[in-house]
Structure 1
Amino acid sequence: MAKLVLNVALPAFKYEAMYAGTAKKLVATSLDGRKVQLPLSAFQRFVTHQGIYGFFEVEFDEKNKLVGVTQVS
């Protein structure tokens, strides 16, 4: 399985766009330079009052389908 590490800095007001229906994807660049597009819903459990901030490990299966997201320190 493939894994990427992302440094995400998404303020709360931008995440709220998902609830308004105007945003559904997070586009980010991994630490190794690959660009990835993921559903914002995959990060829902990491939302705080400030938004989504931190390093996240994203895991994909052999067909490049999202398996899971975990926050790393």
Structure 2
Amino acid sequence: MSDHQFIRFKLSISYDQYLAVYQGIAKTVWVIADDGRRIVFPAGNIKHYLTKTGIQGYFEMELNAQNKFVGIKKLA
């Protein structure tokens, strides 16, 4: 049995909002997870999901037993 935890959340970030990351203005993203927790993580963790319209969708973050970031995937 895995001690990893999985946190699901919705993101809707416009391209212009994410541009602040590249400009060095923003470094983190915060979101309210489905279970009500406020999650804060480095904005670079989702940069590969950036499109011309920004970053939209339903995501799942995986943390290990020590609450360290393992990964984020976009859910269908």
Percent of residue pairs identical: 29
Count of paired positions: 73
TM-score, with length taken from structure 1 = 0.97
What are the equivalent positions in structure 2 for 1:1-73 lying under 5 Å apart? 1-73=4-76
**Distance between the aligned counterparts of 1:6 and 1:56, measured in 2?**
5
Displacement over 2 Å in runs of 4+: none
Give the superposed CA RMSD: 0.6
TM-score, with length taken from structure 2 = 0.93
Which consecutive unaligned segments of at least 5 residues does structure 2 have?
none
Which consecutive unaligned segments of at least 5 residues does structure 1 have?
none
